[in-house]
């Protein structure tokens, strides 16, 4: 069991089932997000068999896989992880907006917590802080949010 912050309740992932969908693009950062998220779920009591990790080529491919996993009815929460670093064109913004819109639709359509940490970042320095370093790691935060939301949905 884990506590996200001192003021928050203790979180237990025991008995919950999670899917983690992570892109491979910007691999060093994406791998770190996936590793932090899965490690956090296991530390909170999730069995290895109850955490399914699926890797996709890039951020654009995340929503279709999340939709398929949500429709399966096998998971209490799904975590979507990816790293998009802005370039000189609007492509990154278009991908980021598309992912956000589709993940929100899937969450509402299936009544399932979809934790969106497909990050749209300015540069690799921002990615280092949010993906690799432990202080503000979005993979860890995504896992804690997934546990909390899965428990909340059980109570509703």
Catalytic residue annotation: 91
Q: Is the distance from CB of 22 to CB of 82 less than 8 angstroms? A: yes
Residue 39, both tokens: 């490690």
DSSP 33: H
* Residue in this structure with the two tokens 């990816």, named with its chain if needed: 82
User: What residues does 115 pair with on adjacent strands?
Assistant: 79
Residue 42, both tokens: 């296991």
DSSP 59: G
Q: Is the distance from CB of 23 to CB of 33 less than 8 angstroms? A: no
DSSP 44: T
Distance between CA 29 and CA 42 in Å, rounded? 20
């Amino acid at each position: 069991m884990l506590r996200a912050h001192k003021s928050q309740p203790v979180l237990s992932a025991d008995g919950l089932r999670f899917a983690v969908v992570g892109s491979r693009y910007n691999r060093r950062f994406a791998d770190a997000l996936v590793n932090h998220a899965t490690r956090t779920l296991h530390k909170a009591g999730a069995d290895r068999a109850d955490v399914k990790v699926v890797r996709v080529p890039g951020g654009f491919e995340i929503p279709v896989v999340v939709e398929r996993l949500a429709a399966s009815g096998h998971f209490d929460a799904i975590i979507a992880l990816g790293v998009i670093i802005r370039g000189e064109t609007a492509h990154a913004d278009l991908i980021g907006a598309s992912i956000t819109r589709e993940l929100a639709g899937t969450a509402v359509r299936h009544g399932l917590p979809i934790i969106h940490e497909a990050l749209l970042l300015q540069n690799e320095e921002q990615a280092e802080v949010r993906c690799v370093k432990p202080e503000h790691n979005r993979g860890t935060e995504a896992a804690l949010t997934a546990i909390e939301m899965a428990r909340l949905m059980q109570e509703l």
